[in-house]
A and B are shown apart, each in its own frame.
Chain A
C-alpha cells in the first residue's frame, strides 16, 4: 500500500520529498479512517491493532519528513524560522 519501511520502524527511507509527503498523507488518512471506525467500534481489536501499527509508522514518517525537508507544524523546533519558507499546501506545494 505504502512504501513502508520493512527493516524496522526507525530506518530512514530514500524517498523523495514528494514521495515522503505522500507517505505521511496516506498514513494520516488511514489513521483518520481507523479513528472514525473506532469511534463507533471501540472494542474492535483488529482495527485497534491496525491503528497502533499505522500510528507508529506515521510518527516515524512525519519526523523523518521534518528532519529532511522542514516543519509540517509549528511544534517542530528550528534553528531558523523555516515554517514560512516552504509553500502552503493549497499552492500546490505537494509537488
Chain B
C-alpha cells in the first residue's frame, strides 16, 4: 500500500503566474510521456518481473513517479492561480477552461485526454524494460522542451530541471535491471531426471 507524506519531493513556490506555460506543462501530467503514464507503466509491469531487483526497482520508481505526478499538478495549479477571464482568454486557455475550469485534468499539451494506450505491459520482461528505458528518455526530452519554453520563469525552470534529472537517474537504474534480467535468462539450466523412478 501507499502512505501519503504531506510534502513534495522537491519544493515548488512559483512566484510568477503563467497560464500559458501551464498549457504545455500539463503534458507531463497526462500526456504521452507524462508522470501518470510512467507510474502506471512501472507499477503494472512490476508484477511480471522475473527477479527481485527489477520487481523492487519498478515498485520504487513507480512510487517516485506518483510523487512527480503531484509535483507537475502543483506546477499547473500554481501557474493558474486566481486567473481572471481576461487572463484565460489572453493565454488561449478557453478550450481547457470550457471543459475543466482550472482543475488539473490529465491531458496532453494538445488537449488529448490521458489513455492507457500510452503504456505497455507486454508479458515479456526484456520488452518491458526496453520500453521503460525509452520512456525515461522521452520524458527527459519532453522536460528539455518545456525548459526551453519556460526560459522567462526561473522558478519553473528550477523544478523542471529537477524532474529532468530524475529521468536520467531512472534510465541508468533501468539499464542495470535490464542487464540483470538478461544475465538471468542467459544462465544455463540443469534439468535433473534422478528421481524418475522414486
Contacts and interface: CB of A to CB of B under 8 A. Distances in A.
Contacts of B64: 32, 36
B100 interface: no
Interface in A24-77: 24-25, 28-29, 32-33, 35-37, 39-42, 71-75
A73 B173 contact: no
A92 B60 contact: no
B7 interface: yes
Contacts of A29: 9-10
B12 A94 contact: yes
B57 A40 contact: yes
Main secondary structure of the interface of A (DSSP, over half): helix
B83 to A, nearest CB: 16
A25 B9 contact: yes
Contact of B169 (A36, A72, A92): A36
Contacts of B77: 90-91
B133 interface: no
Interface residues of A, number: 30
A36 B61 contact: yes
B47 to A, nearest CB: 16
Interface residues of B, number: 29
B19 to A, nearest CB: 16
A79 to B, nearest CB: 18
A71 B6 contact: yes
B8 A90 contact: yes
A37 B5 contact: no
Contacts of B169: 33, 36
B56 A73 contact: no
B177 interface: yes
Contact of A40 (B5, B6, B78, B180): B180
Contacts of B61: 36
A36 B74 contact: no
Interface string B158-182: 0000000000011001001100100
Given A29-B9, A73-B3, A90-B8, A39 B57 contact: yes
Nearest to A26: B10
Contacts of A33: 169
Interface of B: 3-14, 53, 56-57, 60-61, 64, 70, 73-74, 77-78, 169-170, 173, 176-177, 180
Closest 5 pairs (CB-CB, A-B): A90-B74, A40-B176, A94-B11, A39-B56, A39-B57
Given A29-B10, A40-B173, 9 more contacts: A22-B11, A25-B11, A36-B57, A36-B170, A36-B173, A88-B6, A89-B7, A90-B8, A94-B12
